Amino acid sequence: MSSPRLVAIIGATGAQGIPVVRELLQSGNYAVRVLTRDTNSDRFKELQSYGPVESVIGTFASEESLRATFRGAWGAFVNIDGFNSGEKTEIFWTIRGTFFLCSAWELALEEGVEFYVHGNIDYAYKKSGFRPEFHCGHIDAKGRMADWILAQDKEAAVRSRMRSAVFTTGPYIEMTIGRATPFPPSVEDGVATWRAPLADGAVPFTALDDVGVYVMWLFDHAGGEADGLELQASIAHVTFDEYARAFEKVVGKPARWIDVDLEEHLGNNWGARADSPAGYNADPNDPATMTIRQNFRAWFRVYQNSGGNKGIVQRDYALMDRVFPGRIRSVGEWLRRENENGLEKGLGSLWDRIQPENLGHVLKLSEDQRQGKL
């Protein structure tokens, strides 16, 4: 029996990274090394519950840390948090800066990684025909880098050393039952309520429980179909009206979606923070820095114009069915699974979990802010 292949992971304790580590370790075919700032965090301890995890203490904004993480690894999964660095710095660290600073992709190539997976979000600005009203920093930075990485993969000199793939997600559907998200739930007069400025649009939600299976498929098919592939993953294009109807059916409690004004929602949801930088480490005096308001104004416009899988953001659901036949395929199926999982884990029903005192954190960013770790 061959030894497990070592996969280096940047972003392992984030929302996507945890299910990726889980699937890789539980398969028995892969070993995992992760870059982390804190091996005592609850999220790192969760990773260890899935199997042995090798760690490198450091940050993605350090050449030394990146080299130590990639050195000797067969594969890499890299998902940099754009809300940490902001659009400009994420691009810098994904490709290459000046002086002695190198990118994650370039350093992985230098250190002998053979298969590299870039965690991505749709390059909506490009998909809109480069219309400025759809430029959203935290998704376009990843999309630009995905294009660049796949372009390098076409070069013979690169292909002979390292192959690359891109894994693209939509917003996590778990954010609909979480705290500090673009559309947090509330309970008003006994009615589950979501406010979201989507009009006739739809969100191609991704379920985090599916993420690890998709990424492992890419590693399993390295040297074949996965080479140079952008694999885009979503449950379905979901409208919030559809979401509310499914919630009522699954939970047995009244639910509604209120289509609010975009500018009103930005102010109400983020308050005074709306005009602060979208990346908490970004320089507020840098003209390239987008505010939260600017970022999410464009973000909501993207999904307002993606209804019916016919607009800016589209998906190949037939490909997803082939890659992962057991994937979650509807908001109703996800809600049923999530309700059952919550009851089994002692978290309560979905109705219990959307009560304001019970709302949890889906994104590591919001959890770290709550704990004062930023």
pLDDT at 87: 54
pLDDT tens digits, 122-166: 999 999 999 999 999 989 988 999 999 999 999 999 999 999 999
pLDDT category of residue 2 using cuts at 50, 70 and 90 = confident
Tokens of 366: 């919001």
pLDDT at 62: 83
pLDDT at 81: 72
pLDDT at 155: 96
Q: 279 versus 126: which is more confidently predicted?
A: 126
pLDDT category of residue 363 using cuts at 50, 70 and 90 = low
At residue 370, does pLDDT exceed 50? no
pLDDT category of residue 286 using cuts at 50, 70 and 90 = confident
b/e map of 121-153 (b: 16 or more CB within 10 Å)? bbbbbbbbeeeeebbbbbbbbbbbbbebbbebb
Cα-Cα-Cα-Cα dihedral sign, residues 52, 22, 343, 365: positive
pLDDT tens digits, 190-245: 999 999 999 999 999 999 999 999 999 999 999 999 999 999 999 999 999 999 99
Find where tokens 């000046």 sit.
98
| Range with the poorest average pLDDT among 283-292, 303-312, 318-327, 357-366 | 357-366
Mean pLDDT of the chain: 90
pLDDT tens digits, 3-62: 999 999 999 999 999 999 999 999 999 999 999 999 999 999 999 999 999 999 998 878
pLDDT at 222: 98
pLDDT category of residue 83 using cuts at 50, 70 and 90 = low
pLDDT category of residue 361 using cuts at 50, 70 and 90 = confident
pLDDT category of residue 314 using cuts at 50, 70 and 90 = very high
Could you tell me which residues are beta bridge partners of residue 236? 205
Q: How far are the Cα atoms of 95, 219, 280, 317 from residue 160, in angstroms, in the given order? A: 19, 17, 38, 31
At residue 103, does pLDDT exceed 70? yes
Percent above pLDDT 70 for the chain: 91
State the pTM of this model: 0.91
Ordered domains of the chain (ranges, CATH): 5-370 (3.40.50.720)
Question: By the 8 A CB rule, do 358 and 345 touch?
Answer: no
SS (H, E, C) the chain: CCCCEEEEEECCCCCCHHHHHHHHHHHCCEEEEEEECCCCCHHHHHHHCCCCEEEEECCCCCHHHHHHHHCCCCEEEECCCHHHHHHHHHHHHHCECCCCCECHHHHHHHCCCCEEEEEEECCHHHHCCCCHHHCCHHHHHHHHHHHHHHHHHCCHHHHCCCEEEEEEECCEHHHHHECCCCCCEEEECCEEEEECCCCCCCEEEECHHHHHHHHHHHHHCCCCCCCCCEEEECCEEECHHHHHHHHHHHHCCCEEEECCCHHHHHHHHHHHHHHCECCCCCCCCCCCCCEHHHHHHHHHHHHHCCHHHCCCCCCCHHHHHHHCCCCCCCHHHHHHHHHHHHHHCCCCCHHHHCCCCCCECCCHHHHHHHCCCC
pLDDT category of residue 101 using cuts at 50, 70 and 90 = very low
